Structure 1
Amino acid sequence: MKTYDEKHIKNVVLVGSAKSGKTTLAETMLFEAGIINRRGSVEEKTTVSDYHEVEHERGNSVYATSLHTEWRDYKINIIDTPGLDDFIGEVISSIRVCDTAVVLLNAQYGVEVGTELLWSYIDQYQKPTIFAINQLDSDKANFNQTIEEAKKFFGPAVTVMQYPVNQGIDFNCIIDLLKMTMYKFPVNGGKPEKLPIPDKEKNLADKLHNELVEKAAENDEKLMELYFEKGNLDEDELRLGLKIGMMNHQVFPVFCLAGRKNMGSGRLMGFIDNVAPSAVEMPPEKSDNDKDVPITPTGPTKLFIFKTLVEPHLGKLSFFKVISGEIAVGQELTNEKTNTVERLNQLFIADGKNRNAVDKLKAGDIGCTLKLKNSSTNHTLNGKGATGNIDPIHFPRPKVRVAVVAKNKQDDEKLSEVLAEIHLEDPTIEIEYNRELKQVILHGQGELHLALTKWRLENIYKMQVEFNKAKIPYRETIQKAALSSYRHKKQSGGAGQFGEVFMKIEPYYENMPQLKEFPVRDSETHDLAWGGKLVFNNCIVGGVIDSRFIPSILKGVMEKMQEGPLTGSYVRDIRVSVYDGKMHPVDSNDISFKIAGMMAFKEAFHQAEPQLLEPVYDVETTVPDEIMGDVMTELQSRRSVITGMDNRNGYQVIKSRTPLAELDKYFSVLRNISQGKAKVEIQFAEYSPVPSELQRKLTEEHQKEAALEGH
C-alpha cells in the first residue's frame, strides 16, 4: 500500500441519525475509489462497514467502523458511526480522533432530535464540519426546509455549496456553486456529466455563489481585500477561505447526495481532499496536564488509542491515531499509565473486518494493531524522547441500569472476566459490584444498549444470563430526636460481658445548633461513604464510661447504620450523643460497649420517626412539539415533579425531578411514544423522602424477606 505524507492524509467521521445513510455513503465512497468492485447494501448484509453479526441481525450500525479510500493522491480515513444514542460512546471516540465531521441529514426529515446530541460533541471539540443532505432521491425530500432547519439549529455558518435541481424520485442533477457547474448523473449513478448551469437556474446560482464568496472572504483579511478589489474570488481563493472558515467553525459547507444511487459522493471526496484540513493543520492535541501536543511528523513517536475491539478467534485490536513522528513494525513504545513497554509486531489499515498490513504509519494517520498486553482505550504510547499522556476521551454517564446474574452459579467468575472485557471495549458500559444491594449491576446508555450487551454475552461469549430489575439504593434517616438506653450483660462462666449506654439521636442538618442538654467533651464528624454525615458527640463526664470504650460505641453505631431497620438500607444524616452509662471493673470490654451502642442506637431509631429516602434525578427530556402532552402525562405517572419547560431549536425541553425507582423502562416507553425522536439526559439530584404509603409497602416487603431468610 502506498505511504502518504502527513499533508495528504484526511480523517473524516460520518455522523447522523439512524437511517440517514452513513453506511451506504461509506460503501459508495469505497466503490468510487476502487477499493471495492461491487457496492454492498445494508439490506443484503454485504457492506464493508456493518460486518458484525449483531449489525446484520439489527439492520443498522452498532459499532464505529474504520475504513479508508485513496482518491486522487489523497488517503481518506473514514469512520462510519452508529446513529442511535445508545451507542454514543462509539461516536464520541470517533469524533475525537477525526479532523472533519461529515454530518448526514436525511432530506425527508431535516434535523432530527438525535443530531443535537451528536452536534454537542462536534461543537465541544470544534471539529471542522461538512453537512451532507442525503436521500434527495426520496419522494418526500425537501432540500430548502432542511437548509432552513439547519441554519436555525447550527447557525449562519451553514453555507450552501450545492443544491439539487430536481429533488425527488427523478433526482439526478446538482448545481455546484464552487465550480459553477451542473453535474448530471446517469440513471444508476456514478461519474456525472459536467454541464453549463441552465438559464432558469442562473439567477439563483449567481445569488448563492455570491453568498458563498462573501462567506469565504470574511474569514481572512487578505481574501477580503482581494474580494473588494476584484469583486470576486477564483476557485483556489475560495478553497482557502472555506478551509480557514471551517477550521474556525465559521463555515459549514453543504453538499447534496443520493448515496444509494451513487450520486454526489465523488464531489464530496474531492472537496475533502482539496479543502478539509489534514491532522497536521489542526490545532494541537492537549495533554492530561493541559499542555499543547502538536500533531507533527518531526516530533518523537506518540500514538493515542481511541478504541479497543475484542474479535473472536483473533484477540484484542487496538485502534490508534499517530500524534507525532512515525511508527514502524517492530517498534517498542512505553505506556506511562501502566508502566509497561509494548512491541508493535503488526500494523494494519482497517477496512471493516479486512486488515491491510503496512510497514509504517506517519503522523496524523489512523491504524490498528493486535494483542497489546497492557494498553487499552485512552492510553498513550510514547517512543524514545516522548513523555506524557494525551487528554483522555470523556464518555457520558450511563442512564439505565439492570442487575445481571449467571444462570449457572459456576459461571460467576467467568461472568466477571467477560464483563471486564466488555467494559474494555465499551467504556460507556459500566460494571458495579454493589455490596449494599448484593447485585452485579450493568449501567448503560439505554435499554437497547443493555439488550445488545445481553446478546453479546449469550451469542459471542456463550453465557446464559438473566437480567433482573436493579434494586434501589434507598437511605434511612429520622425526623425527630429520641432518647434510649441499652444494657448489655452476659454471664456464662468465666469472664462476662457488661456495658450500658445512654444515647440521644437527632436528625442532622448543616449548621445545626450545638447540643445544649449535655456537655460535649469531644465531637467527630464523619462523611459517610454512602452519602450524608454522622456527628458523634462524647458527652460522658465523671468517668462513668472509660474513654477507651467510646470508639467501640461509635463502631457499634456505624455498624448498625449499614443496615437500617426499615429496609436494611444505609442510614445517614444523624447526630448521636452518648451522655451516660455504666461499666463493670472486670466484665466491661470493647465488644460489650460495641453491642450496647448498636442496640441503643437501634431502639432510639425506632422512636425517632424513621424516614425512608429515595434517590431522585434531574431529568431533561427533549421532544417534538406534537408529543409533548403524551410525555408530560408519562412523566407525571412516574411521580415526577415538572420543574420547567423550554424551547430549544424547535424542540420542547421538559425538565423534571423523577425518582430512580420510576425511571425503569422510561427510556423504552419514550422511544415508542416519540418513534425514536426524543432524547433524555439524567443527573443525580438528591435523596428525597418516600411517600408514606410506599414506605409502608417497602418496609413490609423487607420484613417478609428477612423472615424468609431467617428460616
Structure 2
Amino acid sequence: MKVYSSDKIRNIVLLGHGGVGKTTVAEAMAFASGAITRRGSVNDGNTISDFDAEETKRHFSVNTSILPIEWEEYKINILDTPGYFDFVGEVEEALRAAEGAVIVVSAKSGVQVGTELAWEKAEAAGLPRFIFVNGMDEEGANLVKVLEDLQSTFGKAIAPFQVPIKENGKFVGFVNVVKMEGRKFEGDRVVPCEIPDSMADEIDPVRQMILEAVAETDEELMERYFDGDEFTVDEIQDALKSGIVSGDIVPVLCGCAINGTGIGVLMTSICRYFPVAEMVHPTLDAVDKDGKPVKVECGETAPFSAFVFKTSVDPFLGKITYFKINSGILRRDDPVVNVTKDAVERMNRLYVMRGKEQIEVPEIHAGDIGAVTKLSVTTTGDTLCGKRIAVNFPPIQFPDALMCMAVEPKSKGDEDKVSASLQRLMEEDPTIRLVVDREMKQQLLYGVGDQHLDVIVSKMLNKFKIGIELKKPKVPYRETIRSKVQVQGKHKKQSGGHGQYGDVHIIFEPSGDLTQPYVFAEEVFGGAVPKNYFPAVEKGIQECVKSGVLAGYPMVGVKATLVDGSYHPVDSSEMAFKLATALAFKNGIPQAKPVILEPIMTVHITVDEAYMGDIIGDLNKRRGRVLGMERVGKKQVIEAEVPQAEMFTYPADLRSITQGRGMFSMEFARYEETTKEVQDKIIADSKLQDEAKS
C-alpha cells in the first residue's frame, strides 16, 4: 500500500445495531476496492474483519478492526465496530480515531436501539454521518418506511440521496436524487439508465427533502428555494458537503452489502463528502508536561504527535499498538517519546493493519492510522510525540464496568496465572476490571455485561489455556448490636507454677457509628483492674469484633466499656485479661440483640419515560427504595437505594428491561439492618459453609 497525504485520507467508523451487517459492509468495501479477491461471510467465519477466534465462533464482532482500502486515489480507513452493547469500549476506541461515521440500518427493521445509540455517540463525538440502509434485496425491505422512521427519530437532518429502482421485486439500481440521474447495477459496475416514468411519485418527495436540507444551509439558498429557483448540481453538492461537515445534513444511501450493490456509490460518497481530519479538528486540546492546557495544530507540517486508541495481543506478534497520528509525519526509526509514561519507545517497523494482516510502510502522515508491535510500556490512552513537542491528549472515557462476578480457577494452583492472564486481557480491553477483595478472599471480575464476561472466560481458555469459573460474589455483610448488656468474663486456670487469672465486667452497647468496628472506654474505679491491663482488654475487643456471633461477619458500631473486674497479683497477665475479654464478648453479644447489616448502594438510573413503571417495579423486587426522580433533557433519572446483594446482575437486567436504552451508576451509601428473612438465609448459608469445611 502506498503512502497517502492527509488530504487523501478518510477515517470512517461503522456503527449500528447488532446484526445489521456492518462487517458485511466492510467486507464488501474491501472486495469492491480490490483489497481482497474473495468476499468472505460472517456465517462462514472467514471475513477479514472478524478474524478473532471468538468472532468466528460467535458470528458477530467482538473487537474493532481496521481495514484500510484504496478507492479513487483516496485511502479509506474503515473501523468496523461491534454492534452488541457489551463491547461498547471497542466503539469508544474507534470513535476516537474517526472523522466520519456510517450508521448501518436494516432495510427491514429500520431504526433500532443500536441505531439510536450510534447516532448519539456520533453526535457526541462531533462526527459527520451517513446512513447506509442495508439489505435492500431482502424480502420485506421497505426504504420508504425506513426513511419515515429515520426522520421521525432524528429530524430534518435526514436527506435521502437515492430512490431504489426495483424490477420484479429485486433491487437493480437507484435514482441519484442529487443529480436526478438513473443508475443500474451490472455485475460490479454501476451504469447510467433512464429514470422510470412510474417512479415520479416516489422521487418527488425525496427530491424535496434534499432541496429543503440544502436550503437550510444558507440564507441566500433559502430565499431562492422559496422563490422557486432551481439549484445547480454544483450548488447542491457544495451545500451538501458543508451541511454534512456541520452535521446539519445526514445523507441516506442504500444497497445490499451481501452482493455488493450500492457499495461503490457509498465509497465514492465517503471520499467526496466526508472531511479530512484537519477539517474536523484544525486543533486538538491537550496538556503540556506541567498539566497546562495547550492547543496542538494538526496537519502534516506540525511536529509529530499521535494518540494510542487501541491495543491488542497477538499470540505470534505479541502486543500490537494502534495509533492515530494527530500531527506531523512518523517515519521508520524516528525517535518517539511516550509522554504519558515519560519513556522512549523504539519503532523499527511501521505498519498499517488490514484485519490481522500487517502491511509495512515507510512513513505515516497526519490523519492516518498506523500500528507498531512490541512497544515496551505503551498502552491504550497514551500519547506519543517526537522531540519537538511534548503534550498529552485526553484519555478515552470508557463506560464503567458494573457487571460483577467472582472469578475462581478450575484447577488448584492457577490463582497467579489467572491474575497475570487477566492483566494481559485488560491491556486489550480497558473496560475489564479485576479487584482483589481481601476481606471476602475473592477476586472480582467486572465487565460491561454478561456476554462480555462470557467472552473473557472463553478467551482465558483459548488464549492462555486457563479454565476459570464465574460465581456470584460474596457480599461483605457486617454485624452489630441493638441493645445494651453488662456481662462478666472470667478466665481462671491453675497449672504447675503460675496460674492464669483475668476477670472483667464489660458493658456492650451500640456506639451509633457504623463506620468504626468498635469504641473502647473504661470506667473502672478503685483499681479493680490495673491500668496496665486496659490495652489487653482493648486488644481482646479488637480481635473479637473481626468475627460476629451470627454468621461470622465483622462487627461494627459496638461500644465496649470496662466497668469492673478483679486481678491476681501473681497469676494475672495480659493474655489472661485478653482471654477474659473474649469470654465476655462470647457471652454478652448474643444477649445484645445482634443483627446483620448489608451494604446499601445509591443508584442513579437514566431511562426513557416509557420505562419508568417497569424500572420502579423492578427496584421494588430488589428491595430498593426510590428516593426521587428528575428530568434531564429527554430522559428521566431515578435515584434509589438498593442492597448491594441485589445489584450484581443489574447491568444485564436493566438492558433487558429497557432494550439497551437504560444506563446507571452506583456507589456505596452505608450499611443498614437487613430483613429477618434475608438474615435467616445468611445465617443458614454460613452454617452450611462451616459444615462443609469441617
CA contact 2:101–2:122 (8 Å) conserved in 1: yes
- Map of 2:342 onto structure 1: 339
- Map of 1:610 onto structure 2: 595
Which one is further off, 592-601 or 3-12? Answer: 592-601
- Map of 1:508 onto structure 2: 512
What SS is found at the alignment partner of 2:677?
Answer: helix
Q: How does 1:7-86 map onto structure 2 within 5 Å?
A: 7-86=7-86
- Map of 2:441 onto structure 1: 438
**Structure 2 vs 1, CA of residues 701 and 72 (structure 1 numbering), >3 Å: closer, same or farther?**
same
What SS is found at the alignment partner of 1:259?
Answer: coil
Whole-Å separation in 2 of the counterparts to 1:578 and 1:569: 22
CA contact 1:505–1:604 (8 Å) conserved in 2: no
- Map of 1:287 onto structure 2: 286
CA contact 2:550–2:594 (8 Å) conserved in 1: no
Superimposed CA distance per residue, residues 459-510 of structure 1 (whole angstroms, 9 cap, x where no aligned partner): 221123333332223343444555667567889867978685745542637x
Whole-Å separation in 2 of the counterparts to 1:168 and 1:600: 91
CA contact 1:482–1:506 (8 Å) conserved in 2: no
Unmatched tracts of structure 2, length 5 or more? none
Q: Counterpart of 1:444 in structure 2: which amino acid?
A: G
1:610 shift after superposition: 1.5
CA contact 1:436–1:569 (8 Å) conserved in 2: no
CA contact 2:94–2:309 (8 Å) conserved in 1: yes
- Map of 2:141 onto structure 1: 141
CA contact 2:488–2:503 (8 Å) conserved in 1: no
Q: How does 1:542-553 map onto structure 2 within 5 Å?
A: none
1:316 shift after superposition: 0.5
Superimposed CA distance per residue, residues 133-182 of structure 1 (whole angstroms, 9 cap, x where no aligned partner): 11122212222332233233333323323233449951223222222222
Q: How does 1:211-222 map onto structure 2 within 5 Å?
A: 211-220=209-218
CA contact 2:305–2:386 (8 Å) conserved in 1: yes
**Structure 2 vs 1, CA of residues 590 and 103 (structure 1 numbering), >3 Å: closer, same or farther?**
farther
Whole-Å separation in 2 of the counterparts to 1:79 and 1:153: 25
Whole-Å separation in 2 of the counterparts to 1:169 and 1:654: 48
Whole-Å separation in 2 of the counterparts to 1:149 and 1:490: 85
- Map of 1:258 onto structure 2: 256
Superimposed CA distance per residue, residues 523-543 of structure 1 (whole angstroms, 9 cap, x where no aligned partner): xxxxx9xxx456847576989
1:681 shift after superposition: 3.6
Whole-Å separation in 1 of the counterparts to 2:131 and 2:617: 36
- Map of 1:246 onto structure 2: 244
Superimposed CA distance per residue, residues 102-158 of structure 1 (whole angstroms, 9 cap, x where no aligned partner): 111112112222334444432332222221111122212222332233233333323
Q: Counterpart of 1:393 in structure 2: which amino acid?
A: I
Superimposed CA distance per residue, residues 379-410 of structure 1 (whole angstroms, 9 cap, x where no aligned partner): 11221132232111121122422222223323
CA contact 1:481–1:507 (8 Å) conserved in 2: no
Q: Counterpart of 1:683 in structure 2: which amino acid?
A: S
**Structure 2 vs 1, CA of residues 224 and 705 (structure 1 numbering), >3 Å: closer, same or farther?**
same
What SS is found at the alignment partner of 1:460?
Answer: helix
**Structure 2 vs 1, CA of residues 116 and 224 (structure 1 numbering), >3 Å: closer, same or farther?**
closer
What SS is found at the alignment partner of 2:239?
Answer: helix
Q: How does 1:71-220 map onto structure 2 within 5 Å?
A: 71-166=71-166, 169-186=169-186, 188=187, 190-202=188-200, 204-220=202-218
Whole-Å separation in 2 of the counterparts to 1:246 and 1:547: 82
- Map of 2:429 onto structure 1: 426
Using the size of structure 1 for normalisation, the TM-score is 0.83
Whole-Å separation in 2 of the counterparts to 1:343 and 1:168: 60
- Map of 1:566 onto structure 2: 550
Whole-Å separation in 2 of the counterparts to 1:595 and 1:360: 75
Which one is further off, 429-438 or 138-147? Answer: 138-147
CA contact 1:159–1:254 (8 Å) conserved in 2: yes
Overall identity of the aligned pairs, in %: 33
Whole-Å separation in 1 of the counterparts to 2:620 and 2:96: 38
Which one is further off, 3-12 or 236-245? Answer: 236-245
**Structure 2 vs 1, CA of residues 502 and 368 (structure 1 numbering), >3 Å: closer, same or farther?**
same
Superimposed CA distance per residue, residues 588-612 of structure 1 (whole angstroms, 9 cap, x where no aligned partner): 9887887777776776654144233
Pick aligned residue for 1:350 from 348, 353, 370: 353
CA contact 1:81–1:90 (8 Å) conserved in 2: yes
Paired residues in the alignment total: 683
Q: RMSD across aligned C-alpha pairs, in angstroms?
A: 4.1
- Map of 2:416 onto structure 1: 413
Whole-Å separation in 2 of the counterparts to 1:240 and 1:165: 26
CA contact 1:257–1:265 (8 Å) conserved in 2: yes
Whole-Å separation in 2 of the counterparts to 1:487 and 1:119: 72
CA contact 1:623–1:678 (8 Å) conserved in 2: no
Whole-Å separation in 2 of the counterparts to 1:551 and 1:240: 84
1:552 shift after superposition: 7.5
**Structure 2 vs 1, CA of residues 505 and 629 (structure 1 numbering), >3 Å: closer, same or farther?**
closer
Which one is further off, 8-17 or 211-220? Answer: 211-220
- Map of 2:5 onto structure 1: 5
Which one is further off, 298-307 or 535-544? Answer: 535-544
Pick aligned residue for 2:317 from 305, 314, 319: 314
Unmatched tracts of structure 1, length 5 or more? 510-527
Whole-Å separation in 1 of the counterparts to 2:123 and 2:503: 65
Verify: 1:702 aligned to 2:683, yes or no: no
